[in-house]
Structure 1
Amino acid sequence: MKPQIRKIVTYDDEILIEGFRAAKRPWRMFAVAAIIQNPWAGRFVEDLKPEIQAFGPILGKMMTERMLALAGSGEAIEAYGKAAVVGLDGEIEHASGLIHTLRFGNHYRQAVDAKSYLAFTNTRGGANAPIMVPLMDTNDVGRRSHYLTIQFAIPDAPRDDEVVIVLGAATSGRPHHRIGDRYQDLKDLGHDVDNPAAV
């Protein structure tokens, strides 16, 4: 059992000037999207596991390889995330199922040697629906400079019976980051940085 892939779309954004000031180095965000046939479209299916387990490794490996080719190496990726948009004949559960499996995400996580979880969105929409891929630092969940969002759309996807599966990345944080990190807020509020719930 293999995913039926209609096409693959690459998004690549290189920002040289941000906020009226040149970046010290180009700020690059990019994504790979696979548009696949939704195997459950138009009907209720109780057990999604067979397709999830079959599709996850294939999509995870192929899309990770394409992300690394865009980046040049896993080390070049400082922030990462994933997203899925299911077409109108599908459930949000279908979008969730295809990206929320270690069989999919672990390919990417291991390739960039990440310690943080993959930020995500799972939504439903028609062709040209906005695709939002939230990113976070691959190793530091409190590093706000790397709280980013890639936004793009594909004019002919998803069709009603399709799912758009996306991996996203950035090679740096925002060029002129100056809002501080989560850790300073915790200190200012009197919280233990190592145990934020403690007061």
Structure 2
Amino acid sequence: MEIRKIVTVVEETRKDGEKMVTPPTRKASVAAVIKNPFAGKYVEDLTELMEVGEQLGEILAKQAVKSLGITKEEVQSYGKGAIVGEKGELEHAAAILHPRLGKPFREQVGGGKAIIPSAKKLGGVGTGLDVPVHYKDAAFVRSHYDAMEVRVPDAPRADEIVVAVVVTASGRPHARIGGLQRNEIKGEDGLR
């Protein structure tokens, strides 16, 4: 795996609408810009990218938790995403994100019974991606339905992939649309 750069962004919301957010909500994205070994060619076996996903799951999640200044057990929500440069395929993002990235990601965030929401797309330099997040142990906790935009100004180049994870230390500011609450989850099936 060839990493050109890693970009970390921490977003802290102190006021939303006309009301202060106390304590502020915090979320972090960590994105790696990597060389796509299969750019410009069709390859049937994508195992190499699956292995890259496994490595990045640990590296990026560990950095995201650290950047929030919390313990892994304090992570509340998570998500993942990838942007493939124009000489790649959407399946290259899928190979990185789905088969193996999840297990090391969950280990770095203290568990996670819910599916890790994801987004992927093809795009050129500066393309943004809204990475969806939800509560890590129960996907139906509405207060934690959110997203964070990930954008690297000089990536992905045609032969690169931007791979990102997002973690939060809370739900949305002023969440009040009802539904399952974090303190009500059973955490048995990853849904409720």
- TM-score in terms of structure 2 length: 0.89
Matched with 1:5 is 3
With over 3 angstroms needed to count, the CA separation of the structure-2 counterparts of 1:152 and 1:55, relative to structure 1, is closer
Matched with 1:128 is 126
- 2: CA distance between counterparts of 1:176 and 1:53? 38
- 1:58 to partner: Cα distance: 2.0
Cα deviation, 1:36-81, whole Å, max 9, x if unaligned, reads 00011001111112x1343233212211221221132112210100
Q: Percent identity?
A: 38
- 2: CA distance between counterparts of 1:53 and 1:140? 26
Aligned structure 1 segments of 4 or more residues deviating by more than 2 angstroms: none
Matched with 2:49 is 52
Counterpart of 1:125, as a letter, is G
- 1: CA distance between counterparts of 2:160 and 2:81? 14
With over 3 angstroms needed to count, the CA separation of the structure-2 counterparts of 1:171 and 1:121, relative to structure 1, is same
Matched with 2:21 is 23
Cα deviation, 1:1-60, whole Å, max 9, x if unaligned, reads xx10000001111000011100121111111000000011001111112x1343233212
With over 3 angstroms needed to count, the CA separation of the structure-2 counterparts of 1:74 and 1:181, relative to structure 1, is same
Q: Are 1:99 and 2:97 an aligned pair?
A: yes
Cα deviation, 1:138-186, whole Å, max 9, x if unaligned, reads 1121111100000132110000100000000111111211111169xxx
Matched with 1:167 is 165
- 1:115 to partner: Cα distance: 0.9
The unaligned stretches of length 5 or more in structure 2 are: 182-188
Moved more, 83-92 or 67-76: 67-76
Q: Based on CA coordinates, which of the two structures has the bigger radius of gyration? A: 1
The unaligned stretches of length 5 or more in structure 1 are: 184-193, 195-199
- 2: CA distance between counterparts of 1:163 and 1:53? 13
Moved more, 114-123 or 62-71: 62-71
Q: In the comparison of the two structures, how many residue pairs are matched? A: 181
Q: Are 1:117 and 2:115 an aligned pair?
A: yes
Counterpart of 1:5, as a letter, is I
Counterpart of 1:59, as a letter, is L
Counterpart of 1:64, as a letter, is A
- 1: CA distance between counterparts of 2:146 and 2:103? 21
- TM-score in terms of structure 1 length: 0.86
